[in-house]
Amino acid sequence: MRKKFLISMCITFSIGLVCTPIKAKAQVLASSCFASNPTSITYNSSNFNAVSESQAPNELLKKVELYKNNEGFVSYSDPTSNKSYIAIMRGEKTTTGYGITVKSVSNSDGKINVLVEETNPDKNSVLSQVVTYPYTIIETDIPSCDIAVKNSNGKNYSYYDIERSLPPIIGISWASGNLKNIYKENNFIFLQIENSNGVSQFFYLNDNDDGKNKIKDLKLDSNVTIKYALGTPQKYKNNSSFPLTEIMLPVDKSSFTDKNWKDLGYFKNSDKNMQWTLSYDNELMKENINNSNIYVVDSNGTIIPTQASLTDDKKSIRVTPLKPYTAGETYYLFIATDVTSNIKVSNQGFRMQFQVSVQ
């Protein structure tokens, strides 16, 4: 069954809502935040190029997408060209203005030493409040058998290479539940999440500045949504623990009735695999289509795992559940005004309520 809704709004475009039952499937998408013009630099007889996303191997971009929320680096050795590629990431930032560049690369007995320079926004600057993931990629002829990355202050970047420092990754999954405890052991931070059936799952991240920053706002006994990587898990006290890549806190339930959000309507008997399509008159920018600007929550405010993607014509957004919605449950779809950052509106965004069929 297919339904289509067209809702006019008091701005210069309109949204059409198309709901389509589908089987949800996660996709791996890469994003970039660096200059597209490559440069060639020589340092200690070691050459490297700063390369754009289009010039980087897909295998490296998949690693960047997996770990872009973290401060650290990933690498990939191309067996065809014998080139080594290194992506250095600054992690998730809440505004624009952050950047990173490689200043030098040296080769010491087969070990790659990379020196980076970080740039931060000026405190007096007016910045766009949009989530960014600044990183840079370099290409070198040095075999990537051992890599060390640090900045000019001597801070070391964590290694997130899939083949070496972490267990093999075979996919991405999500979990929601109550945060029961936080443990620290062997340079890792472990989180215990209990789902609605009373079953506990464990997730881990590195015990460094980036990891501590991810958990600083967490409160025990609060509901959280976790994005994690599948593969061979770490062990914590005989419990399997998977590498955590993203934490999402619940939404305040006052937003369900907040008049600063414009209501798009209430739809009953939605399919448990419903895909919502938001259609606009104007083209949208890919960098604005993310889970910070478009998200679904349940009646408790817990964020539900979804994938927001831009269609080929850049005028529609598809919001796909990564696991089936619960029968009989009520959900809220939020579309922040940052999705259309080139259009000024007076409200925070748009809100749609829907209920999943009990059958």
> What string of pLDDT tens digits covers the 359 residues of the chain?
334 444 333 333 334 444 444 333 222 222 333 333 333 333 344 678 899 999 999 989 988 888 888 888 888 888 888 888 999 999 888 888 899 999 988 876 556 788 999 999 988 888 878 888 999 999 988 765 578 888 888 888 888 754 444 444 446 778 888 999 999 887 889 999 998 778 888 999 888 888 888 888 888 998 898 888 876 677 777 788 888 888 888 899 999 999 999 898 899 888 888 888 888 888 888 888 888 889 999 998 999 988 888 888 888 888 988 888 988 999 999 998 877 754 455 567 889 999 998 76
Per the CB < 8 A criterion, the answer to whether 102 and 138 are in contact is yes
- Residue 261's contacts (CB-CB under 8 Å, 6 or more residues apart) are 255, 334, 347, 348, 349, 350, 351
Tokens at 12, concatenated: 């210069």
pTM for this prediction: 0.52
Per the CB < 8 A criterion, the answer to whether 198 and 165 are in contact is no
Measured in residues, the chain has a length of: 359
Q: What is the pLDDT of residue 207?
A: 86
Per the CB < 8 A criterion, the answer to whether 318 and 311 are in contact is yes
Q: What is the pLDDT of residue 14?
A: 38
- Residue 81's contacts (CB-CB under 8 Å, 6 or more residues apart) are none
Per the CB < 8 A criterion, the answer to whether 288 and 321 are in contact is no
Amino acid at 350: F
